[in-house]
Structure 1
Amino acid sequence: MHDVVIVGGGPVGLVLACELGLAGCSVLVLEREPEPRSPWKANPLGMRGLSAASVEAFYRRGMLHPLLKASGVDDYPGADEPAPPRGVGHFAGMMLDPAKVDVAALPFRLPSPAMEGVMTTLEAVETVLSERASELGVEVRRGVTVSDIAQGAESVVLQAGEHEYMARWVVGCDGGRSAVRRLAGFDFVGTEPQFTGYVVLATIADPGKLRPGFTLTPTGMYLRTPTEGHIGMLDFDGGAFDRSQRPTREHLQAVLRRVSGTDVTLSDVQLASSFTDRAMQTTTYRQGRVLLAGDAAHIHSPLGAQGLNLGIGDAMNLGWKLAATVHGYAPDGLLDTYTRERHPIGARVLAWTRAQAAVMRPDPHAQAIQGLIRDLIGTGDGTTYVFDRTSGSSIRYDLGSERPLVGRNAPDLRLEDGTRLGDLMQDGRGVALDFSVDRCLHSSAMGWASRMRYAAGPATNDLGLGAVLVRPDGIVAWAGDRDPDREAFERAVGHWFGSPAI
């Protein structure tokens, strides 16, 4: 019996597998697809944008450079000065100017090797994660389709064909049509679609008739990327044409002509897929010994490239909590904080994508709002706000503290000897940074040495603090003054890491 069986071997399942493997759990990943490679994962169809928060997760686990290499990125910015981002994406197809981002207004931003997002592919992400998972002893079995789930008091049994798999815990990371979600009886609620979207790789007889980039029109939207023949489209048909139908060349050409207002011709279609803006979320992320992460827990349109990043955030939040539960030192209720912390973040992203769909509707009211939004995002404050939302910088969990840093993703604090917070987090443990003169937290932290690292010394920028406690997922759990309260520190460590292992 494994500690954890993860159903779904995409990026979210692999991030979670790596987190659990790093913590010494026995992990089995069951993946439905028989082969890891697919044209839908490679460039251009598999192109994805990782937010700064997601890139930081790779950095903190020592996988940033392999990720950059696999993504073909060789000019990533350094880590000495916080510079404006080079790309901030779009809102509802309206591009933003990265030069208008007010870096000084971003909360607690310090120089870091992971200050920006990265354009990559699913293939690159999965390759890096698969290699790390293998190094950590994670087993991945492909071509396995789960057909039934039976929960007991101490274990879960998965049925897949003639095979049974038993685990103490099961996590569904098996996408928007999750079998785990359905079989375990999760409630899945939300809103129905307004549009059908298409991703197409085709031969265009007259590409000059289509403008490059995002183009909002009175009848929809289309996107022409720099890759020849790669097109995206949104057709506001109420989601009438979904994945249950095969998009033919004739249908795709008719939609493209309608939304572009041209007589453009598709002479051949190599690959095509459809999607909608249906926005749904499970009411909880846990049912007994079964949990969900990524698209299995929430689906929405890909507008703004939030889905993959949301799933990675789920996996990072869940991994250390589930590992602590497996090993028996989790404080009471720790695993329940997964839903409590991540469900509001998922709901926030669903609302963000719904807002974009509403603005893009081909009607006079939505087009009037488009004009207003263009004016707002043309300002520095507007661009900074959108970047703050899409980069992950604005995420803050309610951890019951009035300190503005607590509950946020920790900045890459650096000691004067050159040691960075990111360097200290590669083994998956939490970190206590003590900047105080007398290092009064040292002996107190030793009881949790197997779960938390302690590092002391003056910092290049301590943000006016004397000490910081960072959870394994990079979230600040506690922050103390220049003369830290040792008892308050011990309470915070006990709250998140359980009783000291003495």
Structure 2
Amino acid sequence: MLYDVVIAGAGPVGLFLSCELAQAGCSVLVLEQAESADSPLKRLPFGLRGLNAPTLEALDRRGLLDAVAATQVLKPDKGPPPPGTAHWLAQPRPLGGHFAGIPFALDDVDRTRWTWRLPTPVGTQMAVELQALEAVLAQRAIALGVCIERGRAVQAVRAGATEVVVETAAGVVRGRWLVGCDGGRSTVRKQCGFSFAGTDPEFTGHSLLVELEDPGVLTPGRQYTAQGMCNFNPPGVLALADFDGGAGHRKPLDLAEAQSLLRRVSARDATITALHLHSTWTDGARQSSAYRNGHVLLAGDAAHVHSPLGGQGLNLGIGDAMNLGWKLARVVRGEADEALLDSYHLERHPIGATVLDWSRAQVVLMRPGAGSRALAAVMADLADTRDGGTYLAERVWGVSQQLDLGGGHPLVGRSVPDFLLADGRRMGEVLRTGQGVLLMLDENCALRDVVDRWQQHFTSVTSAVDHALGLGALLVRPDGIVAWACDAGGDEAGLGLALQRWFALPKAD
């Protein structure tokens, strides 16, 4: 069978992308190396993941948010966070997030500065368990007809001009397109000639689940030492940053070695009586110079890797999938030229580069030495101000994210505000069909004749009840990004070009 799209990797990015494609009518096969979706590293405490505003909006716009919210780890009515979760989540003052472990408070965040955002039930952050998130996405994918085959690792790829052949131990599969969502060590990326440049690691991060003879020897929370950083979450969850240049990455660790590592990094005489789980990671930051090579594309960690500091990786990957899905589906269905896919790299590569730099900046504050400690103290003072807290929230929550779509109205390139519409729906609900929306907000707008001519191409043309933000009309892409906008009383200038660019329609007269 020739699939429209073969996806390597059944993590959240691959699963979300498969849902986007299947909803648009594409045949999709997902190949996953792991035999089982179950993994202790995907469960608490190591499986804790933070979802930011663009990810929560994406889930809402596809009708998945309620199911994901039902699995969230931290709920206001459920008391304190589970044992072993990040220490900054257990602080007495409501916190909005952190930068290199330096927290910022929710009451320091001035949301009134985000004039393009409207009141919405969709939040700006949510803590979930990775395995629970994957289960929700897999259930939706299967319901949409996606075929998920586990225990089938990609071994080789032969990319042709019109299709891609993927070799696995169980045989060959063929797809018109292949998307590598197979992680930082992506076989697809390596097999298909993508470069992967960046910066080498400064430290090895160790995540350990242990039993300690005397937990009181260690101080809860994040402590910096001459060798690195020790983050202790009682009773036995440890995150260690050993500034060894990444030498300890992916190396097995027995109990004696774990104890030696802990004592060296923490500078405390701690004794480990049992080692239950261990994994490593680094602060190496690399990005593919291109996200597409012919009929092969990359998304998620296959396209970019960085340290997990600040929890941006999962959100970055979901953003890739949301951006790519509708574009690839239109190309598969013959509704758009392959050139539409060039915008995927142009839009997402700069976002990825920014996140990599955000990760690198946090490493600077973690380095051993008096200079780093002094700089971290300055950053803590800034984070404790209204301007600093608001800036950090904008970056950590993703609310300031704006794609460069060539200028125009200030809303172009931003996530569409969650307007309340005349029929009682929110904008997020309108987008659940996965189609674009041409939204009229001003009944007297000069676009009425143009809208009547184009209406058949969009899921909804309606008016908002209130909170129109002084706008006349907006063209919204299937991913919820504003492609064109005009103020109240505006005309059709630029609308035809936007329609042609994103939907391959003739230019309006």
TM-score of the pair, normalised by structure 2? 0.92
C-alpha distance in structure 2 between counterparts of 1:12 and 1:302, whole Å: 16
* Match for residue 136 of structure 1 among 144, 150, 153: 144
Q: Which runs of 5+ in 1 are unaligned?
A: 77-84
What residue is the counterpart of 1:36 in the other structure? 37
* 1:466 aligned residue: 472
Seen in structure 2, the aligned counterparts of structure 1 residues 272 and 261 have a Cα distance that, compared at 3 Å, is same
Is contact 1:30–1:144 with CA below 8 Å preserved after alignment?
A: yes
Amino acid at match of 2:359: T
SS of the residue aligned with 2:505? coil
SS in 2 for 1:425: helix
Matches within 5 A, 1:281-430: 281-331=287-337, 333-430=339-436
Shift of 1:358: 1.2
Question: In structure 1, what is the equivalent of residue 56 of structure 2?
Answer: 55
State the distance in 2 between where 1:63 and 1:308 align.
16
Can you give the 5+ residue segments of structure 2 that lack an aligned partner in the other structure?
78-92
Q: State the Cα distance separating 1:97 from its structure 2 match.
A: 1.5
Match of residue 230, structure 1, among 229, 237, 242: 237
Q: Contact 1:176/1:295 (CA < 8 Å) preserved in 2? A: yes
- The residue identity in structure 2 corresponding to 1:231 is L
Number of residues paired by the alignment?
492
What is the deviation of 1:383?
1.3
Distance across 1 between alignment mates of 2:359 and 2:395: 12
Decide whether aligned partners of structure 1 residues 290 and 332 sit closer, same or farther in structure 2, where only a CA change above 3 A counts: closer
Partner of 2:111: 103
Separation of aligned partners in 1, 2:224 and 2:105: 17
Letter in 2 for 1:9: A
2:276 maps to which of 270, 281, 298 = 270
Question: Could you tell me how far 1:373 is from its partner in structure 2?
Answer: 1.1
Aligned-pair CA distance for 1:451: 5.3
1:208 CA drift (Å): 2.0
Question: How far apart, CA to CA, are the structure 2 residues paired with 1:331 and 1:185?
Answer: 23
1:171 is matched with which residue: 147, 163, 179?
179
SS in 1 for 2:343: helix
CA contact (8 A) 1:442 1:454 kept: no
Of the structure 1 ranges 385-394 and 432-441, higher mean CA displacement relative to structure 2 is found in: 432-441
Aligned pairs for 1:59-208 (under 5 A) are: 59-72=60-73, 75=76, 87-208=95-216
SS in 2 for 1:347: helix
Measured after TM superposition, the shift of residue 360 of structure 1 is 0.8
How big is the alpha-carbon RMSD for the aligned residues of Structure 1 and Structure 2? 2.1
Amino acid at match of 1:11: P
SS at match of 2:321: helix
Contact 1:444 1:490 in 2 (8 A): no
- CA distance in structure 1 between the aligned counterparts of 2:258 and 2:183, rounded to whole angstroms: 25
How far the C-alpha of 1:441 sits from its partner, in A, is 4.5
Structure 1 residues 115 and 169: CA distance shift in structure 2, 3 A? same
Q: What SS does the corresponding residue of 2:437 show, helix, strand or coil?
A: strand
User: Where does residue 21 of structure 2 map in the other structure?
Assistant: 20
For residues 15-57 of structure 1, the C-alpha deviation after alignment (integer angstroms, 9 at most, x for no partner) is 1001101111110000000111111111112111111211111
| Amino-acid identity (%) | 47
Q: Say if 2:94 and 2:106, in contact at 8 Å, map to a contact too.
A: yes
Length-normalised TM-score, structure 1? 0.94
**Local SS of the residue matching 1:190:** strand
Provide the rounded CA distance (Å) in 2 between the counterparts of 1:330 and 1:107. 34
User: What CA deviation, in whole Å up to 9, does each residue of 1:104-160 have, x standing for no partner?
Assistant: 123522111212211001111101101110111111011001111111111111111
SS in 2 for 1:55: helix
For residue 335 of structure 1, give the secondary structure of its aligned residue in structure 2: helix
1:474-493, aligned counterparts within 5 Å?
Answer: 474-486=480-492, 488-493=494-499
Match for 1:8: what amino acid?
G
Question: 1:416-437 deviations in whole A, cap 9, x for unaligned?
Answer: 5432100101111111210121
Segment drifting more, 138-147 vs 456-465: 456-465
- SS state of the match for residue 200, structure 1? strand
**Cα distance between partner residues in 2 of 1:6 and 1:268:** 39
The 3-state SS of whatever aligns with 2:41 is coil
- Alpha-carbon offset, residue 256 of structure 1: 2.1
Tell me which amino acid in the other structure corresponds to 1:96: F
Q: Which residue of 1 aligns with 2:83?
A: none
Contact 1:181 1:292 in 2 (8 A): yes
Deviations 1:277-318 (A, max 9, x none): 110111000011000000000000000001000000100010
